[in-house]
Amino acid sequence: MPASRPIRRRLLRLLGGLLLTCLTLPALPILALRWAEPPTTAFMLLQRGPVDYEWRARADISPNLVWAVISAEDQKFLQHYGFDLESIRDALDEYRAGEGMRGASTITQQVAKNLFLWPRQNLLRKGLEAYLTALIELCWTKERILEMYLNIAEFGDGFFGAEAAARRVFGSTAAELSNAEAALLAAVLPSPKRFDANAPSPYVRDRQAWILAQMARARTRGAPLDWSRAQ
């Protein structure tokens, strides 16, 4: 037997072990976050300037905001397993037609990105995001995914989560958000550093009105989930 074969086998075992370690390590913090509150996120650490962030349990977040973000960001949230394949296909078709690349991220993908990754899009980030999204869907309930999203999403420059947003924009709490207030907060989510809920542009107001209409339609189909139930 050539001397190089045992060395090659050892290298392959080493590479296999490293690959397995890389694949399993992210599962540990994701499993812990099934119950724990994150002290910070990747996006918060990248923020220039002070960060305003207060965690609130889902019982302390208005169901109106749940309706609003599902209506605005991911209307198939309860039907998919982390990826909206139809939206991804439509976005790719538009890109091939020269219309530019639009986002097709689900709420779960946004949670994965905000918690662990960075804003700029590239193939590496999208690959990591896909893997983390699958782990989150496997380890968490839909209620937990939404609870995390509503607590770590950036609603304005430097303030994260429903509680900080409600206080900064309306002088109230996340539990007190009305339909219109929840829709306004959801309207800025695509670009919270560009859109301002404190001084909404005509575009943001139009988007708020559209979200309110989507919320009304969604409510005719019943509650999206048992939001107040203890986990």
- Give the model confidence (pLDDT) of 165-222 as tens digits: 999 999 999 999 999 999 999 999 999 999 999 999 999 999 999 999 999 998 887 6
Q: Domain map of the chain by residue range?
A: 30-219
Rounded to the nearest 10 degrees, the angle between the axes of helix 202-219 and helix 179-187 is 120
Q: Which amino acid is at 113?
A: K
The tokens of 145 are what?
């995914």
The tokens of 60 are what?
């302390």
**Spatial contact of 177 and 208, defined as CB atoms under 8 Å apart:** no
Rounded-to-integer distance, Cα 196 and Cα 66, Å: 20
Mean of pLDDT values over 97-112:
76
**Spatial contact of 208 and 184, defined as CB atoms under 8 Å apart:** yes
More confident residue, 92 or 57: 57
The torsion angles phi and psi of 195, rounded to 5 degrees, stand at -95, 145
Closest CA to 187 of 177, 174, 201: 201
CATH of region 30-219: 1.10.3810.10
pTM of the model: 0.86
Q: Which amino acid is at 173?
A: T
Residue whose tokens read 């605005």: 72
pLDDT at 21 over 90: no
List alpha helices for the chain, DSSP H.
Answer: 4-24, 27-32, 42-46, 63-73, 85-96, 107-116, 123-139, 142-152, 162-170, 179-187, 202-219
More confident residue, 90 or 72: 72
Rounded-to-integer distance, Cα 142 and Cα 38, Å: 17
Q: In a 3-state reduction of DSSP, which class is residue 155?
A: strand
For residue 155, with 0-12 CB atoms within 10 Å meaning exposed, 13-18 middle and 19 or more buried, which class applies? buried
